[in-house]
Amino acid sequence: MTNELNKGAILILSGPSGCGKSSLLKKFYENFTNYYFSISTTTREPRTGEIHGTDYFFASKEEFEIDIQNDNFLEYAKVHNNYYGTSLKPITKALNEGKLVIFDIDVQGHELVRAKLDAITTSVFITTPTLSELENRLNKRDLDAKEIIQNRLKNAKIEIDSIDKYDYLILNDNLDEAARQFISVANVALIKTKLFNKARIIENWMKN
């Protein structure tokens, strides 16, 4: 089969802060090897323990805006008064290697990626079973001030209205079950992307 039929795919993961995306991804990494996790660039300050180049690429507002002008982002958005964006170069490389590119981005970023790369994109929205459960998790992890938690809950109420724009919805009530569902979606995403070059597929199928 030609390299053209072995291109990678994009899988977008969205959901409110506190819904368990990080825990879900850890389970995913234990069972899936052919992936590249897209690291975002952000202008916010690093949190305790976060490493530049591993968790995020940290940049100044000025640096970020120069990259915007140079069209170096696949997508970017301003959230909580900070920029977040995805550089194009590592994404293109991973796709050409046939990898599943994982994006952990918000609903704004989802719409922007869909607009540019819809054919190879699959998306899943992760959330807790209820808003009150989300609030409980945010309070228990004890990472943010009360004002920030309230702001995150406010944004979550807005984001939930976009679930119909996603291909899949996972309610993260049981982590193991949610992980199984997410892995199933990942496998479907890689199969899905191979279906779009119809002419090439038929040409290979017709060969003796």
Task: Identify the structural domains of the chain with CATH numbers, from first to last.
Answer: 3-38+99-206 (3.40.50.300)
pLDDT given for residue 55 in this prediction? 87
- Tell me the pLDDT of the chain (208 aa) as tens digits: 334 445 899 999 999 988 989 899 999 999 898 999 999 899 999 988 999 988 888 999 999 999 999 988 888 888 889 999 888 888 888 999 999 999 988 998 899 889 988 989 999 999 999 998 988 888 887 777 888 889 889 989 999 999 999 999 999 999 999 999 999 999 999 888 666 677 877 888 888 5
pLDDT given for residue 7 in this prediction? 81
CA distances from 126 to 22, 123, 147 (A): 11, 10, 23
pLDDT given for residue 5 in this prediction? 45
pLDDT given for residue 204 in this prediction? 82
- Pull the structure tokens for residue 60: 């100044």
CA distances from 145 to 42, 79, 148 (A): 20, 17, 5
Using N-to-C axis directions, what is the helix angle for 146-159 and 131-141, rounded to 10°? Answer: 150
0.85 cut: is pTM over it?
Answer: no
pLDDT given for residue 66 in this prediction? 94
